[in-house]
Amino acid sequence: MSLLTLSSNLLRATKRMVPTNGLRAMTVLSKQSAEDYKKMDYSARMNKKGRPVSPHLQIYAFPIAALSSITIRVTGMTLSFGAAGVAAAELIGGGGTTMYIMQTIGSQGIIIASGAKFAVAFPMVYHYFGAVRHLAWDHFPKLLTNVGVEKSSYFLYASSLLVSSGFMLA
């Protein structure tokens, strides 16, 4: 067998290979079966290979660091929408509209007024404390360890709840 024949056989064999995950390849018998394989959904492909399907987000336990990062982003969006709402109320209703709304909420009772204060205070406090934590990490990179991030995340939640509760009661 000549070298040319060997190389053409090798070329044909590699054209029939469909990479699966970079570590191994599955030999496809024909072009039609390769197209059928590509048309399968993710679960069907994993069942055909005998692999488990990745867990869904509902059963995945997020680490505290991920939760604190998500909370910082959510509080930032909350503050942005709140500021836009106050600005829209002032533009549409004229000067003093937000003061009237705040007085109305405050006169509804201590529970509603305290809840409203907490709803405003927590995003502000949490987002601010999160910014301070990131500033500390920027200036002291030695604090940025897995254990340090986990501890600071718990401290961030606890301190934000404590300070926000203090504002709520004031």
108 DSSP assignment: T
Say what the pTM is: 0.65
Domain boundaries, the chain: 3-49, 64-169
Q: Whole-angstrom Cα distance, residue 8 to residue 67?
A: 55
pLDDT digits (tens, 9 = 90+) for 77-86: 999 999 999 8
Q: Whole-angstrom Cα distance, residue 118 to residue 94?
A: 26
pLDDT digits (tens, 9 = 90+) for 6-26: 555 555 554 444 455 444 445
For domain 64-169, the question of CATH label 2.60.40.3500 is answered with no
pLDDT of residue 102: 85
Q: Whole-angstrom Cα distance, residue 169 to residue 7?
A: 81
Instruction: For residue 3, give the amino acid letter.
Output: L
Least confident of 21-25, 27-31, 60-64, 138-142: 21-25
Q: Any idea which residue has 């961030």 for tokens?
A: 156
pLDDT digits (tens, 9 = 90+) for 88-139: 988 998 888 888 888 888 888 888 989 999 999 999 999 999 999 999 999 9
